Amino acid sequence: MMQNLLAENTKNHLLKLEVPLCLELPDGRQINGVLGWHKSPKLKLNSWSALTDLIEGELGVIGADLVEGRLQFEGSMRQLMDIAQRLLQTEPHQTDKSSVERFIEFGLHKWRSRFLHSRDKDAAHVQSHYDVSDEFYALWLDPLRVYSCAYFENPEICLRQAQEAKLDLICRKLMLKRSDRFLDIGMGWGGLLLWAAEHYGVEATGITLSKNQYMHVDQKIKEKNLTGRVKIHLLDYRDIDESQPFDKVASVGMFEHVGRVNMEAYFSKIWRVLKPGGMFLNHGITAGWMEEKQLGLSMGDFIEKYIFPGGELLPVSEVMHHMARAKFELVDVENLRPHYAQTLWAWSDRLESRLDEARSVLMKYHPTKAEKILLAYRLYLAGCAVGFERGWTALYQMLAIRNDALSDYPFTRHHLYEVASSPELASVLSRCLAIDEPCL
């Protein structure tokens, strides 16, 4: 009787929200939404509790149900994201909590941040994500394996071109030149580090906590004959040598792992490893809300459990506050939120087109949980694309200077948008914009 009532309420709920979905209940009965059976994507429920989760619209809980097999979906990720947005009861960054509840939540998050961000735990968190498998990431990232927001100077360019454009934009913002000593904190698979060395002639140093990324970049340095010009270290940012400061520093897609409790120490450390007058660019994800909480509707919990353990997002105003307390002067701030939505959809579509290969790769390294990892990443990439589209999260590039000496930072932004006079660089930039060039 109870199950019949739940099924009827679900049907009415789906019809009211105009959800294009066919549900198969645990007892085999089917509920059709606004479209017919043959046109609708299908969601099979293996647990009655998952039906309640579906009605309540807790997107993170629904995602966990899918990963754990309590739900099975037949259809595309784009269809699933359309359904998920129709099921929303509220925006995940909205809250109706009292000031007392927010104060308590703030204290809990500070305690959690302090607990999660020791050196050992930070290293374990980074390795659990980035060392899943280099082969897996290579299937859906661009050839340079740039795992951060691309820059679509033209909406029609492909992912590779957009990532090259992003790397060059960072180099231009930092005004890199041949005499510079350049530090890349959290270098990933070396995209920015190698780009800056090859196209701007800098003396480049990179650090990472990922063993896989370190080995990959080490091999690339040898292949490109950059030994001596590019140095890399398996190193925590807190342990960077301060005795030989750098002219320019970049941190791309890394400070999300730092944690609120360490944010001021993070920026202060970067200030100390910069020369007086030096420039620093921080490129990272920020929260689209002001309250002290994770992304709501259990979405933050899903990402914490399956994708990024220990990750924390701060609103951009709080990031600026910590930078100012570390004595940095902000000189340029740019929000690339729509660019990240397009980047994530590009990653998602590339992964969806190579699911069999991805499954085979993950089976080699994680035979007992390959399917869970694959489904979690599919949901993560498409779900984050929606999050950036709707403004639940944002991506900011913040350029700052250590202003205790004269800086080279110019009066205007002309240098960001003019093609450099160097024939080599002009060729690079024109290729980034060549939308008719065959591209991955």
Instruction: Report, as residue numbers or ranges, the catalytic residues.
Output: 384
Q: Specify whether the CB–CB gap between 27 and 3 falls below 8 A.
A: yes
Contact residues for 279 (Cβ-Cβ < 8 A; gap 6+)? 174, 175, 247, 248, 249, 399, 400, 401, 402, 407, 408, 409
| Cα gap 309→128, rounded to integer Å | 8
Residue 327, Ramachandran bin (φ over 0: left; ψ between -120 and 50: alpha; else beta): left
The burial of 37, by beta-carbon neighbours within 10 Å (0-12 exposed, 13-18 middle, 19 or more buried), is given as exposed
The length of the chain, given as a count of residues = 440
Positive or negative torsion for Cα 151, 154, 160, 165: negative
* Paired tokens of 264: 């001021």
H or E stretch at 378: helix 370-390
Q: Rounded to the nearest 10 degrees, what angle do helices 191-200 and 211-223 cross at?
A: 20
Q: Specify whether the CB–CB gap between 355 and 374 falls below 8 A.
A: yes
* Paired tokens of 116: 């999660």
Contact residues for 346 (Cβ-Cβ < 8 A; gap 6+)? 150, 158, 159, 162
The whole-angstrom distance between residue 367's C-alpha and the CA centroid of its chain comes to: 26
* Paired tokens of 222: 């040898």
Helix (H, G, I), strand (E, B) or coil at 303: helix
